[in-house]
Structure 1
Amino acid sequence: MPEVVFRVRWPDASVQRCYSPSTVVEEHVVAGEGYAVAEFVARSRVALTVASERVRERFGFPCSRAAAQLADIERRAAYFAAGEVVVEAFEN
């Protein structure tokens, strides 16, 4: 299963490398695009849930690393009432 790392810049200019066990994330966020924090979280939730389910279909169990990544994104997002998250790049 092809995994992907996507690099995002948060409203405070910090950069985070995020993991997905599937390239499906590329269907939900676009490199170079900015998203309101809440929208980025929602898109990440969908993408990482789908990615984890693909792992479950193939291996019989969900991807705990995808779940941990989503939890980290949600935790970071809680610090920002507003602002934009920019998806800087995908690293395959």
Structure 2
Amino acid sequence: MPVMHFKVQWPDGTEANCYSPSTVIREFFVAGQYYALGDFVERAREALHFGSERVREKYGFACSAAMDQLAQIEEQARRFVTDPQAEVKIVELL
């Protein structure tokens, strides 16, 4: 499976490199685009679950790294949940 990485910029300006087990991430995010925090988390959740299922279809087991990445995204997002203006930028898709 072609692995992809995507770099995000959190509302406080910090950046994080994220992992996807599949190129499906391109169907959910556009480089340079800002997403409202809740929208970003929901898109990441859907994309990473979809990618994990692609791994399951091919290899017979889910991708634990995708679920670990989702947990990290959800944890980081909690820091900004009280800010209704919080946005996450997709810096790049690699």
Q: Specify the TM-score bucket, using the shorter chain as the normaliser.
A: over 0.9
TM-score scaled by length of structure 2? 0.95
Taking the aligned partners of 1:24 and 1:90, their CA distance within structure 2 comes to: 11
Matches within 5 A, 1:1-92: 1-80=1-80, 81-82=82-83, 83-91=86-94
Stretches of structure 2 that go unaligned for 5 or more consecutive residues are none
Count matched residues. Answer: 91
TM-fit CA distance, 1:32: 0.6
Q: Give structure 1 regions of 4+ aligned residues with deviation exceeding 4 angstroms.
A: none
Stretches of structure 1 that go unaligned for 5 or more consecutive residues are none
TM-fit CA distance, 1:53: 0.1
User: What is the percent sequence identity of the aligned residues?
Assistant: 51
Please tell me the root mean square deviation across aligned C-alpha atoms, in Å: 0.5
